[in-house]
């Protein structure tokens, strides 16, 4: 492992608006994605923004977190999978969410977080006093 963790950013487009606005469905899909990916669920919290709005939420896992925000009016969901270690299979989680949201397309990018190579570490300037 060359970093403390990895942060997978996923964008689901062409999704079913009803699926993205369904608090219970989104919550169930995120919990299933975390569980079936091999993550250890600690707790979770989700909120539905009324009036046809979307859902925002997070699943706290022992390996870090899964977070999401949905925009039903745009058929779009943004999901972050931040994991430490090599146990969690984020590909499994992506498949579960794509099916639950009836996504037309998924784009993803991965970022290594906390490089362990000391030479790669960056020092930030001290705050002005």
What share of the chain has pLDDT > 70, as a percent? 88
Predicted confidence band of residue 83 (pLDDT cuts 50, 70, 90): very high
Per-residue pLDDT at 118 exceeds 70: no
Active site residue 84: yes
Per-residue pLDDT at 92 exceeds 80: yes
- The residue annotated as part of the active site, out of 7, 44, 48, 69, is 69
Predicted confidence band of residue 12 (pLDDT cuts 50, 70, 90): very high
Active site residue 56: no
Kindly give the pairing relationship between strand 41-48 and strand 105-115: unpaired
What's the confidence (pLDDT) of residue 46?
98
Kind plus residue range of the DSSP H or E element containing 105: strand 105-115
Q: 3-class secondary structure for 34-90? A: HHHCCCCEEEEEEEECCCCCCEEEEEEECCEEEEEEEEHHHCEEEEEEEECCCCCCH
Kind plus residue range of the DSSP H or E element containing 24: helix 23-36
pLDDT single digits (tens) 101-116? 999 999 999 998 887 6
CA dist 110 and 126 (Å) reads: 29
- The residue annotated as part of the active site, out of 3, 7, 56, 84, is 84
- Is this model's pTM higher than 0.75 or not? yes
What's the confidence (pLDDT) of residue 38?
97
Mean pLDDT of 67-88: 96
The secondary structure of residue 27, as a DSSP letter, is: H
What's the confidence (pLDDT) of residue 88?
95
Domain architecture of the chain: domains with CATH: 3-120 (3.60.90.10)
Active site residue 7: no
């Amino acid at each position: 492992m060359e970093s403390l963790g990895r942060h997978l950013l996923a964008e689901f487009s062409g999704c079913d608006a009803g699926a993205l606005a369904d608090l219970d469905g989104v919550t169930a899909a995120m919990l299933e994605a975390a569980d079936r990916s091999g993550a250890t669920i600690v707790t979770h919290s989700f909120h539905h923004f009324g009036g046809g709005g979307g859902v925002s939420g997070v699943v706290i896992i022992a390996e870090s977190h899964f977070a999401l925000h949905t925009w039903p009016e745009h058929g779009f969901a943004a999901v972050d999978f931040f994991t430490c270690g090599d146990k969690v299979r984020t590909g499994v989680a992506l498949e579960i969410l794509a099916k639950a949201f009836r996504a037309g397309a998924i784009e993803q990018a991965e970022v290594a977080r906390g490089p362990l190579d000391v030479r790669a570490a960056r020092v930030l300037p001290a705050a002005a006093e």
